[in-house]
Structure 1
Amino acid sequence: MKERVKSWVLALLVLGSLIESYYLIYRLPGSDSAVMSKNLYVKTDNMGPEEKVENLLYPDKMIIHMGEDRHTLFYPGTTFYDLILNRLKGRGFESFQRRSVQDFDWDKIRSENSGIELSFGSGIPVTLLQRVMQLSPDSLFEGESIDRIWIYNVKNDSKAHAVFFSTRGDIVYEAAKADLTVQDVQQHVDFGKNWSPYTAVNGDYYLPQDKVSLVKVEMPSGMYTIEQMQSNLFFDAGSTRYIPEKDGSKIYTDSKKSLQVDQEQNWMSYSDPAALPAGDSTPAKDALEAVDFVNQHGGWNGTYRLAATEEGRQERKVSFQQYYGSYPIISVPQMQYGVINLELQQGTVSFYERSLMYTEEDQAVKQLAELPGGEELENRLARLSPDLPIKDLTPAYLPVVKEEQLLLQPVWRVTFSDGSMVTLD
């Protein structure tokens, strides 16, 4: 009888040990929300490959001026965009002269002279621009950030002009020596002759005279697990503890760093307020540090472009914009997706946020779509806020979650002078 009791007790102890082992292995902190379905589970801890900073530095658009007030636009990844940009990367620019932006009649240059205008959105530090272009800046120019480069010909002038616009808005730098001939510039401009025509509006944005064709995309999507994020961001993921929040989000912390997950938005925010400062901080150094951080803590789940290096009160904000094909994916309050944001203090990352969603691009279903142009688009723009001038008009993709699919809906992204934005489909 005693032996039988001992056998039952031993069996119960073994069973209890197995159950406890199961929970220790499969129910680590955060696993309560881990997605385990066949469509959403991801085996690797990486969200994507590492990336070189040079591959993240490129213009958001290329404006071709053909004289007689004729213009067209090329976007990233298109044939002529890549051809012209690669040629310009191999040309040298030096002996920069600092001048006032008011020294030039830009409306006349835009309408009468042939040229190529590269737009870098919110700007790119010159020391980073040197990684993709052959620049020989002096100490003054080297400390600037550039949001536009305008290379153009002037009638009856035997040399090409190259002007770099400071993000400050009142200063430009003209390269007295540019390894480009008038014929080089004209050859690049000629690529736009038979392309879709655009009309310049107040020198701020360009309105297509015809409809713009692009694709509507639907592809399978899933979500990276919280365990993967813990493994990427914490030295010892097993030491974290879970703190529930009233708004439905979840926080995991090791008492120093914290990971907050909004499961409705599939969005994560990581903060390390105790990060030790690395020392000197410049826009270029912080951008490089941000790229390294993403490389080491998840990687890049798609094609990105350095979008901004903004100075805050005590930190610098670095943002990367995700692209599908030639156009950006917009992050909106209803659907946060398509951007990676970081904050740095004295060269060290203290804040990091991005979407937890991934897509299977090789299984994408594409359908041809058109965005309005010409008079129809002009009328729709006129009905927008009359008190805020439009500063930019760009084709873009609006992300929409549809069950376990991500839909990229083509839209016009309209940006106003105060930085606010609306979309037109």
Structure 2
Amino acid sequence: MGLKYIETVKSIILLLLVALSMVLTFSIWTYTPSYDTIEKLPPADVAIAEKKKFNELIKPYKTVFNFDDVLRGTTDSDTIDEIMDEITEWEVSDLKPVNSNFSAENLRTLLRKQNRFTLFFHGEVPLTVYDNVLNINEPVPIVPVISFDRIIVDWNPAGIAMDIFFVSRANKTLYSAKAKPEDYRNFQRTVLTQARELAEYTEVNPEGSTLIVVPKNPVEIDRYTFIEGETPPSKFRDALFSDPNAVRSSQVATNKEELVDNHALMKIDKDKLKFEYAYPTARLSELAIPSELLADTINFVNEHGGWTDEFRYTYMNPKSRTVNFRLFVQGLPVYTDSSSTAEIIQKWGNKQIYKYERPYFLLNWSLPHEKVAEFLPSGIDIAERLIESDMVDFDTIDEIAPGYFMKHDTEKENFIMEPAWFYLVKRKNSESWHRFSPENLGGEPIGLE
């Protein structure tokens, strides 16, 4: 009996061990450790500089008032800002089409009428974008597209309200709107009083197809020298690439670097202090809607705070999906030669940026800088020299305006802003800004082609 009992106990123990082994094996197979949840990190939120509002980027570069007996105008940024502050308070209504085939002669006639003033813009501005600036109390139609590069205001003293005209020279369209009588009274008290003290302007080449008005007397402009500053390209790398840690760097030449990942490419030129960024798969050849194109390109730069200096909208081409923003200093445009760049150039692709070219230097106003007053010849003198020149067809000149020519002194590591006169040559399919130089009339274009 004793041996039989022992065998029974052994069998029971064996069964228990087998069962325990099965339980342990099952537990091992089905065991899942308790890991802490790993959250997916969002893209780096890089703010290089402050964001800009539309009215800070889309500005008139000149205004001219046609009084009874004299033209008065200015390119002074502060004065124009004060005028715009008044205009943005107006309640604009009754927007309607006037002429869908508005010729250059029609515009010249409109501009020459007395008791009117004109705001000049560098590029075509879609009204559906600018209605964020103007107080238009009715929806602006999306189709047809309404755009302008001139705003003309008629303040006829005999009337009780003001007529506002939106002129698009590119599309040959004229739209009108009205401001309220109380806006007219405020305008008389503030803007017109100030405008009568502005510099005297005069029309040049009255027989030409384009009305060009310039200062009658020499123009005083400050010459600046800035110590070279820059925004590190690594900040733009972190803002533009989805995963900066995956970016590969290679030195392709002296002072030239390329950054790449599986989707994008950035070429950095350390001599010219500029870079070119491209996202090839985003390329798109469809005609862009102007209002969307301008808004998208502004919002793109705002996303990473890319307005490192004062840049303004100057050019748009919906066919090539291109928008340009030019550097301005004290309200005047900055031009340069091929040794540098003073523009942010964007080509918009399929719902995102396709190409992005820009400088990364800084004009640091907080650092010591040199300022010297200089006098430019009158606009009349420049126009006469251009008319007399055999190297320039004056009929192709669309504008004459002051600005800055930027020189980059790499040895002294500074930027020199030289005041100069510039003239815009427009042909059928191209336009380009040229610096006026008596020794080099008709020289190298420094703007758009």
Fold match by TM threshold 0.5? yes
Identify unmatched segments of 5+ residues in structure 2. Answer: 1-45, 438-449
The amino acid of 1:326's aligned partner reads G
2:33 maps to none
Q: 2:348 aligns with which of 339, 344, 348?
A: 344
Show the 5 A alignment for 1:69-88. Answer: 70-79=70-79, 81-88=80-87
2:131 maps to 130
2:39 maps to none
2:324 maps to 319
8 Å contact from structure 1 (residues 301, 358) kept in 2: yes
- Per the TM alignment, residue 264 of structure 1 is displaced from its structure 2 partner at its CA by 2.6
Q: 2:276 aligns with which of 247, 269, 281?
A: 269
8 Å contact from structure 2 (residues 127, 140) kept in 1: no
1:192 maps to 195
Task: Tell me, in whole angstroms, the C-alpha distance in 1 between the residues paired with 2:249 and 2:217.
Answer: 54
The DSSP-based 3-state class of the residue aligned with 2:64 is strand
Q: 1:308 aligns with which of 303, 315, 333?
A: 315
Q: 1:424 aligns with which of 427, 430, 436?
A: 436
Task: Tell me, in whole angstroms, the C-alpha distance in 1 between the residues paired with 2:287 and 2:319.
Answer: 16
8 Å contact from structure 2 (residues 425, 433) kept in 1: yes
8 Å contact from structure 1 (residues 305, 321) kept in 2: yes
The amino acid of 2:424's aligned partner reads T
1:96 aligns with 2:95: yes
1:118 maps to 119
Show the 5 A alignment for 1:277-316. Answer: 282-313=289-320, 316=321
1:52 aligns with 2:53: yes
Q: CA, structure 1 residues 224+385, in 2 after alignment: closer, same or farther (shift >3 Å)?
A: same
Q: 2:217 aligns with which of 210, 217, 226?
A: 210
Task: Tell me, in whole angstroms, the C-alpha distance in 2 between the residues paired with 1:399 and 1:328.
Answer: 10
1:404 aligns with 2:413: yes
Q: 1:147 aligns with which of 134, 146, 149?
A: 149
1:62 aligns with 2:76: no
Q: CA, structure 1 residues 108+309, in 2 after alignment: closer, same or farther (shift >3 Å)?
A: closer
The amino acid of 1:398's aligned partner reads F
2:174 maps to 172
8 Å contact from structure 1 (residues 221, 404) kept in 2: yes
8 Å contact from structure 1 (residues 215, 366) kept in 2: yes
Q: CA, structure 1 residues 107+238, in 2 after alignment: closer, same or farther (shift >3 Å)?
A: closer
Task: Tell me, in whole angstroms, the C-alpha distance in 1 between the residues paired with 2:194 and 2:68.
Answer: 13
The amino acid of 2:259's aligned partner reads Y
The DSSP-based 3-state class of the residue aligned with 1:286 is helix
Please identify the structure whose Cα radius of gyration is greater.
Answer: 2
- Per the TM alignment, residue 237 of structure 1 is displaced from its structure 2 partner at its CA by 2.4
Identity rate, percent: 18
The DSSP-based 3-state class of the residue aligned with 1:191 is helix
The amino acid of 2:197's aligned partner reads N
TM-score, L = length of structure 1? 0.79
Q: CA, structure 1 residues 56+246, in 2 after alignment: closer, same or farther (shift >3 Å)?
A: same
1:369 maps to 374
Task: Tell me, in whole angstroms, the C-alpha distance in 1 between the residues paired with 2:213 and 2:298.
Answer: 32
Task: Tell me, in whole angstroms, the C-alpha distance in 2 between the residues paired with 1:378 and 1:90.
Answer: 37
The DSSP-based 3-state class of the residue aligned with 2:81 is helix
The amino acid of 2:154's aligned partner reads Y
Q: CA, structure 1 residues 108+306, in 2 after alignment: closer, same or farther (shift >3 Å)?
A: closer
Identify unmatched segments of 5+ residues in structure 1. Answer: 1-44
Q: How many residues align?
A: 375
Task: Tell me, in whole angstroms, the C-alpha distance in 2 between the residues paired with 1:231 and 1:138.
Answer: 38
Q: CA, structure 1 residues 47+217, in 2 after alignment: closer, same or farther (shift >3 Å)?
A: farther
- Per the TM alignment, residue 390 of structure 1 is displaced from its structure 2 partner at its CA by 1.4
Superposed CA offset, 1:259-295 (max 9, x none): 0112232210001123499x99632233222222212
TM-score, L = length of structure 2? 0.75
Task: Tell me, in whole angstroms, the C-alpha distance in 1 between the residues paired with 2:184 and 2:302.
Answer: 42
1:35 maps to none
* Backbone CA RMSD of aligned residues: 3.0
- Per the TM alignment, residue 173 of structure 1 is displaced from its structure 2 partner at its CA by 0.6
Show the 5 A alignment for 1:386-401. Answer: 386=393, 388-401=395-408
Superposed CA offset, 1:362-392 (max 9, x none): 2221111111105532333222502652111
- Per the TM alignment, residue 91 of structure 1 is displaced from its structure 2 partner at its CA by 0.8
Q: CA, structure 1 residues 268+374, in 2 after alignment: closer, same or farther (shift >3 Å)?
A: closer
Superposed CA offset, 1:174-218 (max 9, x none): 12x322566555553442323221112344321221101110001
Q: 1:353 aligns with which of 354, 357, 381?
A: 357
Task: Tell me, in whole angstroms, the C-alpha distance in 2 between the residues paired with 1:348 and 1:391.
Answer: 34
